[in-house]
């Protein structure tokens, strides 16, 4: 007669299963939290405000999001390396003025002039951060002041703006449409798609993550940390300048007063999209979702109509603070192996 030994359940298994579920949920919230909130906000707005879902409103929302998305794309790379770029708002405005100024000499000058100058500012930022060890906050703050000063010098201390006239080809960049959707939307989508591939599928992208995750470990692995920093700040300057050129083409002039506070908007949408301020983690898709979430909330405030437009900044600031607190809480809750 065979005696069967009863199978006893390991008491550690339920705890392990609960911990695994917790870890999966924490990872989901870190990666997809902004997307979940965006879907919920869009559903509420669609049901509550009939004008929100109209074609004209959605097209305007996409168009306005495209300019910030291009700037935030560059900021994503910078923040993943553990840096910060406070100059993008002024560089963005400078790019618009340079594009308008260069438009008198034709399409290519209007497009290349802001790219060259703004890319050079980003390059200098990167060299100072990477080669001298100066704090990114200080370096890019100085660049913010330099770009704004250069902008005012070009426009005679803001008393004049350069209107774009007689350059229909360049104006198409900002005002042209395809299937009813503005060209800036397509350009932003193309750039973000390329940025996503660059970040996830190339050695440069691996160096970006490694630099932000642990710079000392990246150096021990033989990765080009200094070159990576120079490249991400140069990229940030180029994209900010290009966004400025698109905006100038859309507005048909270079406007001196735009870009004030844009650097804070770019940082906020990148963080809202799940990129860690300490570096080492983030996605381009998350940044795009962060841009959309911010602009949808602002659009809802406009739809309400009874709220002062200043509440947009209050809501954005509050939402960013909540997101950072949640990020830190999730990071502490996630088990370390």
Give the pLDDT mean for 216-230.
89
Which sign does the torsion angle of CA 75, 78, 83, 89 carry?
Answer: negative
Q: How far apart are the C-alpha atoms of 164 and 327, rounded to whole Å?
A: 44
Radius of gyration of the chain (CA): 23
Q: What is the pLDDT of residue 6?
A: 56
**φ, ψ of residue 184 in degrees (nearest 5):** -55, -30
- Model confidence over 162-187: pLDDT tens digits? 677 777 888 999 998 898 899 999 99
Q: What is the pLDDT of residue 26?
A: 46
DSSP state of 96: H
> What pTM does this model have?
0.86
Q: At what angle do helices 55-80 and 88-102 cross, to 10 degrees?
A: 120
Q: Is the pLDDT of residue 5 over 70?
A: no
Would you say 34 and 289 are in contact if contact means Cβ atoms under 8 Å apart? yes
Give the pLDDT mean for 125-149.
93
- Model confidence over 233-260: pLDDT tens digits? 999 999 999 999 999 999 988 888 888 8
Higher pLDDT, 317 or 229: 229
Would you say 91 and 240 are in contact if contact means Cβ atoms under 8 Å apart? yes
Q: Return all residues near 34 (Cβ < 8 A) that are at least 6 apart.
A: 272, 273, 274, 286, 289, 290, 293, 323
Higher pLDDT, 299 or 17: 299
Residue % of the chain over a pLDDT of 70? 80
Q: How far apart are the C-alpha atoms of 112 and 102, rounded to whole Å?
A: 9
Say how far residue 172 (Cα) sits from the centre of its chain. Answer: 24
Q: Is the pLDDT of residue 329 over 80?
A: no
Would you say 96 and 254 are in contact if contact means Cβ atoms under 8 Å apart? yes
């Amino acid at each position: 007669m065979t005696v069967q030994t009863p199978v006893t359940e390991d008491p550690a298994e339920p705890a392990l299963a609960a911990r695994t579920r917790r870890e999966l949920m924490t990872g989901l919230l870190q990666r997809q939290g902004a997307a979940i909130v965006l879907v919920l906000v869009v559903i509420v707005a669609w049901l509550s405000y009939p004008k929100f879902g109209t074609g004209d409103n959605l097209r305007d929302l996409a168009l306005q999001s495209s300019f910030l998305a291009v700037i935030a794309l560059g900021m994503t790379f910078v923040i993943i390396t553990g840096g910060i770029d406070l100059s993008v708002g002024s560089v963005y405005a400078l790019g618009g003025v340079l594009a308008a100024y260069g438009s008198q000499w034709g399409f290519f000058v209007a497009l290349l002039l802001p790219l060259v100058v703004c890319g050079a500012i980003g390059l200098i930022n990167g060299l100072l951060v990477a080669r001298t060890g100066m704090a990114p906050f200080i370096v890019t703050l100085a660049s913010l002041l330099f770009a704004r000063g250069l902008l005012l010098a070009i426009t005679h201390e803001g008393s004049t703006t350069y209107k774009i006239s007689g350059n229909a080809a360049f104006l198409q960049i900002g005002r042209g449409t395809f299937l009813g959707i503005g060209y800036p939307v397509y350009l932003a989508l193309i750039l973000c798609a390329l940025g996503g591939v660059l970040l996830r599928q190339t050695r440069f992208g691996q160096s970006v993550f490694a630099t932000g995750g642990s710079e000392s470990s990246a150096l021990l692995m033989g990765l080009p940390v200094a070159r990576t920093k120079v490249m991400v700040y140069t990229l940030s300057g180029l994209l900010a300048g290009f966004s400025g050129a698109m905006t100038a083409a859309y507005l048909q002039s270079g406007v001196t007063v735009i870009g004030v506070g844009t650097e804070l908007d770019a940082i906020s949408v990148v963080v809202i999209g799940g990129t860690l301020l300490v570096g080492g983690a983030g996605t381009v898709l998350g940044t795009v979702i962060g841009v959309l979430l911010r602009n949808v909330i602002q659009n809802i405030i406009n739809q309400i109509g009874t709220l002062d437009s200043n509440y947009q900044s209050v809501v954005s600031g509050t939402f960013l603070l909540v997101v950072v607190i949640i990020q830190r809480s999730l990071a502490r809750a996630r088990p370390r192996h």
